[in-house]
A and B are shown apart, each in its own frame.
Chain A
Amino acid sequence: MRKISVNKIREKVAMLCKKANYKLPDDVKSAIKEAYNKEKSELGKDVLSQIIKNYEIAENSKVAICQDTGIAIFFIKIGEDVKIVDGDIYDAVNEGVRNGYLEGYLRASIVKDPLYERENTLDNTPAIIHLEIVSGKNLEITLMPKGAGSENMSKMTILTPSASEEDIENFVVKTVKEGGANACPPLIVGVGIGGNLESCTLLSKKALLRKIGTQNPNSKYSQLEKKILKKINKLGIGPAGFGGIYTALAVYIETSPCHISNLPICVNLNCHAARRASLII
Chain B
Amino acid sequence: MSRTFRLKTPFSERGLEKLNIGDKILLSGVIFTVRDAAHKLIKKQIDEGKKTPFNLKGSVIFYAGPTPSKPGNPIGSIGPTTSYRMDRYAPFFYSLGVKATIGKGSRSKEVILAQKKYKAVYLAAVGGVAALLARHVKKAKVIAYPELGTEAIRKLWVEDFPCIVANDIHGNDIYKKR
Contacts and interface: CB of A to CB of B under 8 A. Distances in A.
**Chain B binding site: helix, strand, loop or mixed by DSSP?**
loop
Contacts of A46: 24
B61 interface: no
Interface in B120-141: 124, 126-135
B115 interface: no
B27 to A, nearest CB: 15
A30 interface: no
A54 B129 contact: yes
A122 B65 CA distance: 13
Given A182-B104, A241-B175, A61 B131 contact: yes
B105 A105 contact: no
A43 interface: yes
B45 interface: no
Contact of B130 (A65, A108, A235, A238): A65
A68 interface: yes
B77 interface: yes
B79 interface: yes
Contacts of A240: 104, 124, 126-127
Given A182-B84, A182-B106, A107 B128 contact: no
A22 B148 CA distance: 24
B71 to A, nearest CB: 9
> Which of A47, A61, A241 has the most CB atoms of chain B within a 10 A radius of its CB?
A241
Interface string A26-69: 00000000000000001100110011011101100101111111
Given A105-B70, A149-B82, A240-B126, A67 B149 contact: no
Contact of B65 (A54, A65, A67): A67
Contacts of B133: 54
B136 to A, nearest CB: 11
A242 B80 CA distance: 15
B73 to A, nearest CB: 8
A58 B70 CA distance: 13
A184 interface: yes
Given A42-B1, A47-B126, A54-B131, A66 B104 contact: no
A199 interface: no
Contacts of B178: 235-238, 243
B45 to A, nearest CB: 18
A57 B131 contact: yes
A14 to B, nearest CB: 16
A107 B76 CA distance: 9
Interface of B: 1-2, 22, 24, 37, 64-70, 73, 76-79, 81-82, 84, 104-106, 124, 126-135, 148-151, 162, 164, 174-175, 177-178
The 10 closest A-B pairs by CB, nearest first: A182-B105, A54-B129, A184-B127, A54-B132, A64-B77, A58-B131, A236-B178, A273-B128, A67-B130, A107-B67
12 contacts: A43-B2, A54-B128, A57-B135, A65-B128, A66-B127, A105-B67, A107-B65, A182-B106, A240-B124, A241-B175, A271-B127, A271-B128
Interface of A: 42-43, 46-47, 50-51, 53-55, 57-58, 61, 63-69, 105-109, 118, 120, 122, 147-149, 152, 181-182, 184, 235-243, 271-273
